Amino acid sequence: MRRGPAKRTTRGPGRPARLSRERILGAALALLERAPEEPLTVAAIAAEVDAVPAALYRHFASLDELLDAVLGEVLGSVELEIRRRAPWPGQVRDWMTSVRSHLLRYPAVLPLLGRRGRTSPAWLDVASVLIGILERAGLAGADLARAYLWVLETTCGIAMQEASLSLPEQIASARASLAEMGPEPRARMAKLGSHLTRLDGDTFFAFVADRTVEGLAELVGAAPRTRSRPLRQGR
């Protein structure tokens, strides 16, 4: 796994800078920072480095390799942001918080995690860090698999929703639709209104991380005394 963003190169006067993997990745990150919600395409990256799209394939064997490398640059520092000496609950929180932060900074990479039936190895590198944390907590077998998917899906699901519409925007949109609801559903939703408006994305995610860690602690406490049922196939 890469440990940080690719080194950026700047073009001086005279001949264009020589094309390289590092320059291509730097251009991709520049695009993500300048227009974080715009889809990342080979054509856009090529234009950023004043090259034709075919030239990029001299440095990357395929589109998948290029996109995986970009994702690796975006997520490459997640492991470094996890406190090595922290107890496992703190490390789980660090993992969840870091992954959400990186994905929301570059929301255009969310579709790159899994595409055309293929999961990015760069994403699996990051996910494997979570497995190691949960193993150190004492989980194994089916309990480990369940816990891994629980934390992974919770973190990514919330990040994807926030990337589409921030939590305050979600709440504002819901309030705007109250008048079109039936009387009983509207009355139920009205009970939450003042409380929901006090929430922001960070506050809510901290709540989610805390509850997730609490649930994992129960699972860790039960793991040595109970035999986990095998995961059902096809679910």
Is the dihedral angle over the CA atoms 92, 94, 95, 100 positive or is it negative?
A: positive
- The CA distance from 29 to 51, in Å, is 16
Tell me the Ramachandran region of residue 7: left when phi exceeds 0, alpha when psi lies from -120 to 50, beta otherwise: beta
pTM, rounded to two decimals:
0.78
- Tell me which DSSP letter residue 97 carries: H
Q: Which pLDDT score, from 0 to 100, does residue 224 have?
A: 55
Per-residue burial over 64-77, b = 16 or more CB atoms within 10 Å of its CB, e = otherwise: eebbbbbbbbbbbe
Q: Which pLDDT score, from 0 to 100, does residue 125 have?
A: 92
Residue 232's SS3 state is: coil
Reading the chain (235 residues) residue by residue, the pLDDT tens digits are 444 555 444 444 544 568 999 999 999 999 988 988 888 899 999 999 999 999 999 999 988 899 889 988 888 888 889 999 999 999 999 999 999 999 999 888 888 888 777 888 889 999 999 999 999 999 999 999 999 999 999 999 999 999 988 888 888 888 888 888 898 988 888 888 888 888 889 999 999 999 999 999 999 997 654 343 444 444 3
* Residue whose pair of structure tokens reads 């819901």 in the numeric block: 174
- The CA distance from 60 to 184, in Å, is 57
- The CA distance from 202 to 126, in Å, is 21
In degrees and rounded to multiples of 5, residue 118 shows phi and psi of -130, 130
Q: Which pLDDT score, from 0 to 100, does residue 79 have?
A: 87
- The CA distance from 103 to 122, in Å, is 13
- DSSP labels for 17-62? PPP-HHHHHHHHHHHHHHSTTSPP-HHHHHHHTT--HHHHTTT-SS
In degrees and rounded to multiples of 5, residue 115 shows phi and psi of -150, 140
